[in-house]
Amino acid sequence: MQKQNLVMIGNGMAGVRTIEEILDRNPDKYNITIIGDEPYPNYNRIMLSNILQNKMTQSEIVLNDETWYAGNQITLHTNEKALLIDRQAKIITTTKRNISYDRLILATGSRAFILPIPGADLEGVLGFRTIDDTEKMIEISQKYERATVIGGGLLGLEAARGLLDQGMDVTVVHLADWLMETQLDAKAGELLKADLEAQGMKFLMQKATSKILGKSRVTGLAFKDGSQIETDLVVMAIGIKPEIELAQHANLPTGRGIVVDDFMTTADPDIFAVGECAEHNGIAYGLVAPLYEQGKVLADHLCDIETLGYQGSKMFTQLKVSGCDLFSAGSIKENAEVKGVTIFNSIDNKYKKIFVKDGKLVGVVLYGDTTEGNRLYNVLKKEEAIDDFTLVSLLHKAGESEATNIAEMPDDESVCGCNGVCKGDIVSAITEKGLTTIGEVTAHTKAGGSCGKCKPIIGEILEHTLGDDFVNAAPAGICGCTDLSRDQLIIQIRAKSLQNAKEVRHVLGFRNPEGCSKCRPALNYYLNMVWPHDHQDEPESRYVNERLHANIQNDGTYSVIPRMYAGKTDPQQLIKIAKVAEKYDIPLLKLTGGQRIGLYGVKKEDLPKIWEELDMRSGFAYGKTLRTVKSCVGAKFCRFGTQDSLALGEALERRFEFVDTPHKFKMGVSACPRSCVESGVKDYGIIGVENGFQIYIGGNGGTEIKEAQLLTTVATEQEVLDICSAYVQYYRETGVYMERTAPWLERMGFEHVRDIILDPAEQAQLKASLDEALEGRDDPWKQVLQDEEKQKLYHVERV
């Protein structure tokens, strides 16, 4: 069967996504030709602000390079403008040729709206829409000092932040009372303005520009109230105007955009429109998520696949400006039918407001903490009744996180709103295609390929789906958000006194200002290690198991592992465990490999109550810290034992109980060379002998077993503790986050590590550093145990 000729005018995000969807459905149906008026292949227009903010390069925002077009046998004409559509002859005339079509897609997009005021044509007046616009702004910033952005919406603020990063003095002129008034309410707009002012941005609010001053190039702005300012650059960011001239000349119905039906078909059954140029039910969308939804519908229609058609979109907004976390979705205007519920935490500058109509969520505004954005957007999108939800909740216990819980997330819940990818799509791709990294997930599903805000959740889905294989599949260390190595990061954190992860990502120019599932916990660890008393631990940056102080199981329930020092317990503890297990109908109690009693199948809502009633410390079976010290019964009971392994095991466990390490850390204390607790495959292993203790380091169990190496033999328990202190601290100071001691020891060199930790001066220095890091950590625990109210928090909140 002869292929039809499918021609698309426009080489932007919405149009090329439509072509990708067509190729996924039926790659042999059409001969495809694409006409683009820019001299570039398809690129991510959303990321232009990241180029301006020095976070990405031009090559990094290319979505489909020339090899993709060639590989899919697509004819691409770049730097070529379509001039005329002859609907009768089905011929497109461009600046270079005539092209015939059987079916035509108009994906002409939009252009920046330029105010029709005197001086708008002066040199130095730009829109912010293309790579060329961005490059010109960077070029001007190198010659001039003052910039003015007209428009305090999403695009304007991202442009202003970028110009600040280019070293310019930036003023934002905005007509409304507050910033981003379409997406934010007055309070959120006020918080945003204050944060941006703290970054150095200036604002002129409620200002209407009447004239751009200058002769050949811009020198200033005049306003309707008679005031003026001087400037060297004006960026218009007050909206977009759909490109509809081709359609108008072809006598296709247009309004604000090219009018289409639910199948993205124009008045001509062989001509379709998609993206910012299309108008559906009176709406021309300007955000990427609805445009991709349109592309999927059009691909189904062009491939003769039954579809319900495009039904419109519920939009959401996020701002790509470091230090300003905001999320907005749906309708955010209160009236007689729509009521709002507000929570404002002025201590942490976190603001949340939801809008409810007829018992359903219709709008969301979050500022300062957007962790709930994805969950609330899914509730809004599904139009769920919220009768069973708590509208206001204060003083959550730590561990009762509001962040997304991957184990409990249903498969049909949206993860990447921009690309319409749900959790089930990602899990299927991971398991069926053997994906192990965020980049691979993006390549196969498109999730995370637009604004990038969902990459941390994608990482958590990978972690949950793959378990330890996720860690093993990725190289230890920092992620693709930065080119800086672990050592370079530590040096910069110390040199620039960077105190929190947001500051690190901004100052050191991370490509993703929000970070990802690899660098967020890594930065939290490095900051805790560098500033043990000055850095406030960031629970939201820890893995979900650490946040909830329990291990998620495959059915979404949890395991609770109380700490039993050296595996030793007593009747009172056993009675408590038995009572809790009976009361909460816990389906499984099991002796773990670390000589503890584990309670499995615990419901999330029961976790705080169970910890309270157990009145035992958490064993941190989920943590990047000391997990267990495994011990035999020792010389007091065993006829072969040469040393008191129980006492030494308990001393080690109490000494290192609160130490964060790059990865999990396990110890074993055997009272004789029979080594009943497998001390030879522990991170730190001790074997009792007649004259003292043999010390082994760098052993790891798991999928790749590494035998520990003999470090030395010592005579006393105190020497065991001192050497362990130096060993743990040196590992903390030089280890890459998520690097076990075995690969660390191989990387550092056994002889080098041995020489450091056995040198008396080095050992004393390392021990002092560890003491400093642990200073004050024991006393708070004791205080908690003595305080009945704090005792309730103890079990779910880590000091």
pLDDT of 783 reads 36
Backbone angles phi, psi at 350, to 5 degrees: -115, 130
Looking at 302, 317, 334, the residue that finishes a domain is 302
- Tell me the C-alpha distance between 515 and 522, whole Å: 10
Cα 10 versus chain centre, distance: 31
| Residues in the annotated binding site for siroheme | 676
- Tell me the C-alpha distance between 550 and 325, whole Å: 28
- Tell me the C-alpha distance between 135 and 60, whole Å: 15
- CB 249: neighbour CB atoms within 10 A? 11
Domain of residue 295: give its range: 4-110+242-302
pLDDT of 633 reads 85
Cα-Cα end-to-end distance for the chain: 70
Q: The domain that contains 715 carries what CATH number?
A: 3.30.413.10
Kindly report, residue by residue over 697-749, the tens digit of the pLDDT: 999 887 678 899 999 999 999 999 999 999 999 999 988 888 889 999 988 89
In a shared domain, residues 565 and 524: no
In a shared domain, residues 574 and 639: no
Would 386 be classed as within a structural domain?
A: no
- Tell me the C-alpha distance between 478 and 738, whole Å: 9
In a shared domain, residues 615 and 688: no
Would 104 be classed as within a structural domain?
A: yes
Tell me which residue has tokens 């003491």. Answer: 771
**CA-CA distances (angstroms) from residue 510 to 31, 53, 56, 275?**
41, 10, 9, 30
Q: Is the pLDDT of residue 441 over 50?
A: yes
Residue by residue, what is the 3-state secondary structure of 347-373? CCCEEEEEEEECCEEEEEEEECCCCCH
pLDDT-based confidence at residue 27 (cuts at 50, 70, 90): very high
Q: Is the pLDDT of residue 265 over 80?
A: yes
State the total domains in the chain.
Answer: 5
Compute the Cα dihedral for 494, 498, 500, 501 and give only its sign. Answer: negative
Tell me which residue has tokens 């749906």. Answer: 330
Looking at 238, 254, 281, the residue that finishes a domain is 238
E runs forming strands in 681-787: 684-689, 692-697, 709-714
Cα 299 versus chain centre, distance: 30
Tell me which residue has tokens 């928090």. Answer: 793
In a shared domain, residues 797 and 655: yes
Residue 490, C-beta contacts closer than 8 angstroms, at least 6 positions apart = 526, 530
Kindly report, residue by residue over 327-344, the tens digit of the pLDDT: 888 888 888 888 888 888
In a shared domain, residues 656 and 767: yes
Largest CA distance in the chain: 100
Q: Is the pLDDT of residue 223 over 50?
A: yes
Helix orientation angle between 741-748 and 717-734, rounded to the nearest 10 degrees: 80
Kindly report, residue by residue over 76-116, the tens digit of the pLDDT: 999 999 999 999 999 999 999 999 999 999 999 999 999 99
List, in sequence order, every residue forming a beta bridge with 749; answer none if it has no partner: none
Would 92 be classed as within a structural domain?
A: yes
In a shared domain, residues 559 and 580: yes
In a shared domain, residues 560 and 702: no
Q: In what order do the strands lie in the sheet with 271-273?
A: 74-77, 30-35, 4-9, 103-106, 271-273
CB 423 within 8 A of CB 415: yes
Helix orientation angle between 750-758 and 717-734, rounded to the nearest 10 degrees: 130
Q: Is the pLDDT of residue 781 over 50?
A: no
In a shared domain, residues 646 and 765: yes
Would 354 be classed as within a structural domain?
A: no
- Tell me the C-alpha distance between 406 and 403, whole Å: 9
Would 223 be classed as within a structural domain?
A: yes
Q: Give percent of the chain with pLDDT exceeding 70.
A: 91
Q: Is the pLDDT of residue 396 over 60?
A: no
Tell me which residue has tokens 């079990």. Answer: 795
Give the HSE-up count for residue 510: Cα atoms under 13 Å, Cβ half-sphere. 26
Average pLDDT over residues 411-423: 80
In a shared domain, residues 292 and 225: no
Would 745 be classed as within a structural domain?
A: yes
Tell me which residue has tokens 């095991």. Answer: 649
Looking at 490, 525, 548, the residue that finishes a domain is 548
List, in sequence order, every residue forming a beta bridge with 169; answer none if it has no partner: 146
Cα 378 versus chain centre, distance: 17
Per-position b or e across 127-145, b if 16+ CB within 10 A of its CB: bbbbbebbebbbebbeebe
In a shared domain, residues 779 and 763: yes
Q: Is the pLDDT of residue 779 over 70?
A: no
Backbone angles phi, psi at 409, to 5 degrees: -70, 125
pLDDT of 792 reads 36
- Tell me the C-alpha distance between 184 and 365, whole Å: 6
Average pLDDT over residues 439-458: 78
DSSP-H helix ranges across 75-153: 131-141
pLDDT of 169 reads 95
Q: Helix (H, G, I), strand (E, B), or coil: what is residue 346? A: coil
Strands 339-345 and 350-357: antiparallel
Helix orientation angle between 519-530 and 486-495, rounded to the nearest 10 degrees: 50
Average pLDDT, the chain: 85
DSSP code for 217: B
pLDDT of 321 reads 66
Give the HSE-up count for residue 120: Cα atoms under 13 Å, Cβ half-sphere. 12
Q: Give percent of the chain with pLDDT exceeding 90.
A: 42
Tell me which residue has tokens 């206001």. Answer: 392
- What is the rounded radius of gyration, in angstroms, for the C-alpha atoms of the chain? 31
DSSP code for 660: B
Would 380 be classed as within a structural domain?
A: no
Q: Is the pLDDT of residue 778 over 60?
A: no
- Tell me the C-alpha distance between 603 and 723, whole Å: 41
In a shared domain, residues 616 and 679: no
DSSP-H helix ranges across 715-777: 717-734, 741-748, 750-758, 760-774
Would 396 be classed as within a structural domain?
A: no
In a shared domain, residues 766 and 642: yes
| Residues in the annotated binding site for [4Fe-4S] cluster | 632, 638, 672, 676
Q: The domain that contains 218 carries what CATH number?
A: 3.50.50.60
DSSP code for 462: H
| Residues in the annotated binding site | 632, 638, 672, 676
